[in-house]
Chain A
Amino acid sequence: MKSIKRILGASAILATAAMPAFAADYPKRPVTLVVPYGTGGSTDIASRSLTNVLGKHSSHPIMVVNRVGAAGVTGSVSVANARDDGHTVLAARVGSHTINPAMKRTLPYTLDDFRFVGVFELNAVVCATGANSGIDTIEQLMDKIKADPGSVSYVSTGVGTLLQLASIMIMDAYGIENPLAVTHLPMRGGGEAATAVFAGNATFVCTNSSDLASFVANKQLKPLLTTTKERLPAFDAPTVAELGHPELEVLVGWTGIAGPANLPDEAAVQWGEWLKIATSDQGFVDHLTRMGSEVVYMDPDESKQFIQHQYEVFKELVTRLDLSVE
């Protein structure tokens, strides 16, 4: 009898020792991870892969909830205004957290409404043109724009998106005096936008490498530049540094986790640990890499600095070219 008690006692101690993460104060109940973009998009897939991995490490489930609308604004607002007990967090994205704040004057939130706990995914920008467009290099494209801006068009997924800002920033870097004279053709989705360039309805597109990977692999689009430091294996195109414009390396898509401004410390610390676990999980890294992303781990300070820097660069461009919208 005594021995049974002893075994039970010992196993209880073992059990507690084996699950230090579960003994923490956070989470107390299921956590909601708000994805401000639609199901099946790159943010959604990255977030779902993340929660798949974290399911094994959290005492409560982490649920992905899509709150779609207005280029990420609807979902972001809902987290900024959520109860700040750490059980509602956001999958923040380049569009919702650096471009929109830089461009939209009536945006119902600012960067200060969020506390960033980490960035876990990067996705460089690639510019591409139709395979039969007769344009082979970025210089040729820029010469064509200089000769007749109205004859060239680029696609985006709407005002205040990475696609629009990246195109303008690259044209600006190449000395195009008025990038706004070039026709901007907003479409409803990334696939639609790239298809428009393939079908010849627009001249070029600059967007996340993952959105173009399939088109480039099928030789439907021709990549002209990438904003990565090294050349990307799947894209046979020079990097911006090779082209003499290293300042364009700031053009990179990212996904991170953010909570409301008053996110409690224990939640921030726990999420930091979770991101560390996920970004070193081989399955997670493999999934995201195959989708065309780069898995990174940035701690809260690095993330904040990274995001703030990108925001300031974009803000300067927006102010100088008067790109802001109501």
Chain B
Amino acid sequence: MTMMDNAAAALSLVAQWGSLLALLVGVAVGVVAGAIPGMSATMAVALALPFTFALEPIYGILLLLGVYKGGIFGGSIPAILIKTPGTAASSATVLDGYPLAEQGKSGQALQMALYASCIADLISNLALILFAAWLASFALKFGPPEFFTLILFSLSIIAGVSGGSLVKGLIAGAFGLLLATVGLDLVYGTDRFIFGHPDMMGGLNFIAVLIGLFALPEIIAFAMNGKDEREGGVRALGDHKLPFSEVRRCMKTIIRGGVIGSVLGAIPGIGAAPSAFLSYSEARRTSPNKENFGKGELEGVAAAEAGNNGVCGATLIPLLALGIPGDVITAIIIGAFMVHGLQPGPMMFATNGDMIYALFMGLILSSIFLFFIGGASIRLFRFIADIPKSVLLPGVLVLCVYGVYAVNNSVFDILVMFAMGWVGYLMMRLHIPAAPFLIAFILGPLLEDNFRQAMLMGQGDFAILFRSPITWVFWALTVFTLTVLIRNGLRDRKAQQGRLAVANKD
């Protein structure tokens, strides 16, 4: 069959009420599931899987893709409204999204998240359709040494989100790296810092840590103060309409986030979190509003969500081009393919070309559906921001407990969450930023695993960390970032000393 024949056959597959309905239901279920703290996109896709066994293959796979896309966007809703990120990736959205909600601009933040998600999603889908083969062969060049240098570079983001004091940021980062080592050692299988407690053998559940660190300190602080700072206890609704000029202003950031997401998403095993963080730090580095990042900057939300959703379409690149699952969600989707007797991989373009083109069309369509369903859900969820804190926060606390329990059905995780809540509260009081802790905690295991795998591959020779041009690029970027940081730090100090000297003279 030629490409045109395939496209025509695909159109007849997608242009059925069943396909459209499956996609629509999928996106809607995904958005709602993603919006519930503790329900991640992964869980939603896994739960939807058995329902697809009985469906036509095209319906089933479109349904799963819809849940996936909806779920990733849905995660931004609680991140912005109640500072409760449901996944590691949406924690970057919290950094600016929640301050915006505090300023009564939750409507704008949510809309920006939606625009950024849909546009980045579209970019990612186009990358899949146009560059799948090329990106897949690039992605295969990423072995442990390349991963290690990429993650090392990503850690330099910590400097960008440290706020006023780099030292405090580094302390938080080191603490995050330390907690990430709890659990079984990957290479030797020995216990590390588990203090004889079987519950800790699996490490600290990161959803519990995330929610404890972000959502709980707010609640503890409110309980300590006993009253809302704002008169009447109601957050001003503010102007919830996002002016289009704002979207245009952030367009460059959104596109950059989408491109970062598309490249990183194509690499198996990275996931959405590094992409969201990288997109965020790049946006901050180049923005004229640099100072406003972390205090409620719409561009920050746009960057985080674009980086987060830009991964979506691209994770299908290794799946369709090579038949390799890029992450847990695509592993489930491969399962759905195989249950229907379809074999994802390079041969599928020849054997089931119509199916592939139907998927492409379904993906583009899902971005459009997401735009409308997401828009409708914002109109519903936005009212959460109007609830007085004295009513809202107890509800959030209940949701947090339920959500953390739901991830792994473990009471121990709830204890971890409360312990991290107090740690987060202390950090808040001492003005130690939470974001560097979190980034280190999420990237720490990746950094360690890949370093040790690289060392095993190279039989202890450090030369393997410089084995390919990809590693050289990331080493250069890391050195460059550190140099700029140190130079700026010295310049700021000099400027400060200069000011002090002037002040002393006066």
Residues of A within 8 A of B (CB): 34, 38-41, 44-45, 48-49, 52, 65-71, 73-74, 77-78, 103-104, 106, 108, 150, 153, 158-160, 183-189, 191-192, 194-196, 198-202, 213-215, 217-218, 220, 283, 287, 290-291, 325-326
Interface check B332, CB cutoff 8 A: yes
Q: Which 4 A-B pairs have the closest CB atoms?
A: A69-B202, A159-B189, A39-B46, A70-B201
Interface check B323, CB cutoff 8 A: yes
For the complex formed, measure the closest distance between the CB of A121 and the CB atoms of chain B, giving whole angstroms. 15
Distance between Cα atoms of A159 and B452 in the complex (Å): 14
- Given the known interface contacts A52-B50, A291-B339, the answer about A38 and B328 at a Cβ–Cβ threshold of 8 Å is yes
- Judge whether B346 and A191 touch: CB under 8 Å: no
For the complex formed, measure the closest distance between the CB of B452 and the CB atoms of chain A, giving whole angstroms. 8
Interface check B345, CB cutoff 8 A: yes
- Judge whether A218 and B49 touch: CB under 8 Å: no
- Contacts A199-B142, A218-B323, A220-B345 aside, 18 further interface pairs with beta carbons under 8 A come to A40-B335, A48-B50, A70-B183, A74-B202, A158-B189, A159-B189, A185-B456, A185-B457, A188-B449, A189-B269, A191-B331, A195-B324, A198-B324, A214-B324, A218-B322, A218-B345, A290-B339, A326-B190
Distance between Cα atoms of A7 and B184 in the complex (Å): 65
For the complex formed, measure the closest distance between the CB of A231 and the CB atoms of chain B, giving whole angstroms. 20
Contacts of B143 in A (CB 8 A): 196, 199-201
> Which of chain A's residues has its CB closest to B145's CB?
A201
Kindly supply a per-residue 1/0 record for chain B positions 179-206, scoring 1 wherever the CB is within 8 Å of any chain A CB and 0 otherwise: 0000111111111000000110111000
- Judge whether B343 and A71 touch: CB under 8 Å: no
Distance between Cα atoms of A71 and B198 in the complex (Å): 12
Interface check B167, CB cutoff 8 A: no
- Judge whether A183 and B183 touch: CB under 8 Å: no
Q: Counting chain A CB atoms within 10 Å of each CB, which of B46, B187, B198 scores highest?
A: B198
Interface check B325, CB cutoff 8 A: yes
Interface check B334, CB cutoff 8 A: yes
Interface check B288, CB cutoff 8 A: no
- Judge whether B338 and A290 touch: CB under 8 Å: yes
For the complex formed, measure the closest distance between the CB of B78 and the CB atoms of chain A, giving whole angstroms. 20
Distance between Cα atoms of A34 and B409 in the complex (Å): 10
- Judge whether A186 and B187 touch: CB under 8 Å: yes
Interface check B408, CB cutoff 8 A: yes
- Judge whether B324 and A69 touch: CB under 8 Å: no
- Judge whether B189 and A160 touch: CB under 8 Å: yes
- Judge whether A153 and B456 touch: CB under 8 Å: yes
Contacts of B345 in A (CB 8 A): 214, 217-218, 220
- Of the candidates A74, A187, A214, the one whose C-beta lies within 8 Å of that of B453 is A187
Distance between Cα atoms of A48 and B46 in the complex (Å): 10
Distance between Cα atoms of A195 and B318 in the complex (Å): 10
Kindly supply a per-residue 1/0 record for chain B positions 222-246, scoring 1 wherever the CB is within 8 Å of any chain A CB and 0 otherwise: 0000000000000000000000000
- Of the candidates A106, A183, A186, A201, the one whose C-beta lies within 8 Å of that of B191 is A106
For the complex formed, measure the closest distance between the CB of B190 and the CB atoms of chain A, giving whole angstroms. 5
For the complex formed, measure the closest distance between the CB of A250 and the CB atoms of chain B, giving whole angstroms. 22
- Judge whether B457 and A40 touch: CB under 8 Å: no
For the complex formed, measure the closest distance between the CB of B459 and the CB atoms of chain A, giving whole angstroms. 6
- Judge whether B408 and A291 touch: CB under 8 Å: no
> Which of chain B's residues has its CB closest to A36's CB?
B202
Interface check B358, CB cutoff 8 A: no
Kindly supply a per-residue 1/0 record for chain B positions 119-147, scoring 1 wherever the CB is within 8 Å of any chain A CB and 0 otherwise: 00000000000000000000011111000
- Of the candidates A65, A68, A184, the one whose C-beta lies within 8 Å of that of B202 is A68
Number of A-B contacts (CB under 8 A): 155
- Judge whether B50 and A44 touch: CB under 8 Å: no
Interface check B221, CB cutoff 8 A: no
List 14 A-B residue pairs with CB atoms under 8 Å apart, sorted by A's residue number: A41-B331, A52-B50, A52-B53, A67-B410, A69-B183, A69-B201, A69-B203, A70-B203, A77-B198, A106-B191, A159-B189, A183-B459, A214-B344, A283-B53
Interface check B24, CB cutoff 8 A: no
- Given the known interface contacts A39-B46, A191-B268, the answer about A215 and B341 at a Cβ–Cβ threshold of 8 Å is no
Distance between Cα atoms of A41 and B328 in the complex (Å): 8
- Judge whether A186 and B186 touch: CB under 8 Å: yes
Interface check B42, CB cutoff 8 A: yes
For the complex formed, measure the closest distance between the CB of B366 and the CB atoms of chain A, giving whole angstroms. 20
- Of the candidates B188, B203, B332, B343, the one whose C-beta lies within 8 Å of that of A325 is B188
- Given the known interface contacts A191-B325, A287-B339, the answer about A73 and B269 at a Cβ–Cβ threshold of 8 Å is no
Contacts of B46 in A (CB 8 A): 39-40, 44, 48
- Judge whether B140 and A199 touch: CB under 8 Å: yes
Q: Counting chain A CB atoms within 10 Å of each CB, which of B141, B183, B335 scores highest?
A: B335
Contacts of A68 in B (CB 8 A): 202, 408
Interface check B109, CB cutoff 8 A: no
- Judge whether B409 and A66 touch: CB under 8 Å: yes
For the complex formed, measure the closest distance between the CB of B49 and the CB atoms of chain A, giving whole angstroms. 7
Chain B, 256-309, CB within 8 A of any chain A CB: 268-269
Chain B, 320-366, CB within 8 A of any chain A CB: 322-325, 328-329, 331-332, 334-335, 338-339, 341, 343-347
